[in-house]
């Protein structure tokens, strides 16, 4: 992973860039009693902040040692049942437990059915966060009748692709690191070129994309 991406990865909702709607939803939930005791379904393109926001939610509820990341593809009904038994007990520290289910579109049918039961009994100190791409979510909905009931049990956060806001943050990072040598519209072009994948864009900046910027005869920025 990019060193700069790790350095500048948001750790609070205040630091999240370009996802105003998702942050507003979380702030509203937070004001009404906190982020725990719920499940969240975060969908969006790669690099738009799914994992980052999932970690922020998780760490608001639980200490790092009680934040568990799960690979959805290998999840079984028995594993979900065991997780439910484990989450019934409070942890020390912040008192909560958090579970981040990556690539949620890979959840198998029988596991998904068991999850419906588990989410209905989610304790007030626990949180479960599912992340997926928009395409993956659509495929899951088309493939499994129980997918819609699962998603409906979650607070849904659909992430945007805000080119300009991402570009402004990229330029700020480049300036802080002495890697800037281009106008803002070049950063907008980079964000667009990479499909608003912030991780990939920061990697490009880290590798000097804005220090030795190439431009073709028509004035278009070249990043390949």
The 10s digit of each residue's pLDDT in 159-205 is 999 999 999 999 999 999 999 999 999 999 999 999 999 999 999 99
Confidence of residue 219 (pLDDT cuts 50, 70, 90): confident
Burial class (CB in 10 A: 0-12, 13-18, 19+), 215: exposed
What pLDDT is recorded for position 215?
85
- 151 token code pair: 């998603």
Confidence of residue 10 (pLDDT cuts 50, 70, 90): very high
**b/e burial code for range 170-185 (CB count within 10 A of at least 16 → b):** bbebbeeeebbebeee
Instruction: Give this prediction's pTM.
Output: 0.94
What pLDDT is recorded for position 1?
52
Dist. CA 208–CA 99, nearest whole Å: 37
pLDDT in tens, 124-149: 999 999 999 999 999 888 888 889 99
**Do residues 210 and 187 touch, judged by C-beta distance below 8 A?**
yes
Confidence of residue 2 (pLDDT cuts 50, 70, 90): low
Dist. CA 156–CA 135, nearest whole Å: 15
Q: Classify domain 19-158 by CATH number.
A: 3.40.50.300
High-pLDDT (> 70) share of the chain, %:
99
Ranges of H-type helices in the chain: 3-8, 20-31, 50-61, 77-87, 109-120, 134-143, 147-152, 163-176, 184-193, 198-206
- State the average pLDDT over residues 83-95: 92
């Amino acid at each position: 992973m990019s060193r700069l991406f790790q350095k500048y990865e948001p750790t609070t909702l205040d630091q999240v860039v370009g996802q105003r709607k998702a942050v507003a939803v979380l702030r509203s939930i937070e004001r009404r009693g906190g982020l725990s005791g719920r499940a969240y379904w975060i969908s969006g393109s790669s690099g738009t902040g799914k994992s980052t926001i999932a970690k922020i939610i998780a760490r608001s509820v639980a200490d790092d040692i009680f934040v568990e990341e799960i690979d959805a593809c290998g999840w079984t009904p028995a594993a979900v049942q065991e997780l439910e038994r484990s989450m019934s007990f409070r942890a020390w520290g912040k008192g909560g437990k958090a579970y981040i289910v990556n690539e949620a579109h890979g959840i198998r049918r029988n596991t998904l059915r068991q999850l419906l039961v588990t989410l209905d009994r989610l304790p007030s100190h626990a949180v479960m966060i599912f992340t997926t791409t928009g395409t993956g979510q659509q495929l899951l909905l088309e493939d499994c009748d129980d997918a819609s009931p699962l998603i409906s049990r979650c607070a849904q956060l659909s992430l945007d692709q805000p080119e300009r806001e991402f570009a402004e943050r990229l330029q700020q990072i480049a300036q802080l690191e002495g890697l800037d040598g281009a106008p803002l519209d070049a950063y907008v072009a980079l964000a667009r070129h990479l499909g608003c994948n912030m991780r990939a864009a920061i990697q490009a900046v880290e590798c000097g994309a804005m220090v030795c910027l190439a431009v073709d005869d028509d004035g278009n920025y070249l990043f390949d």
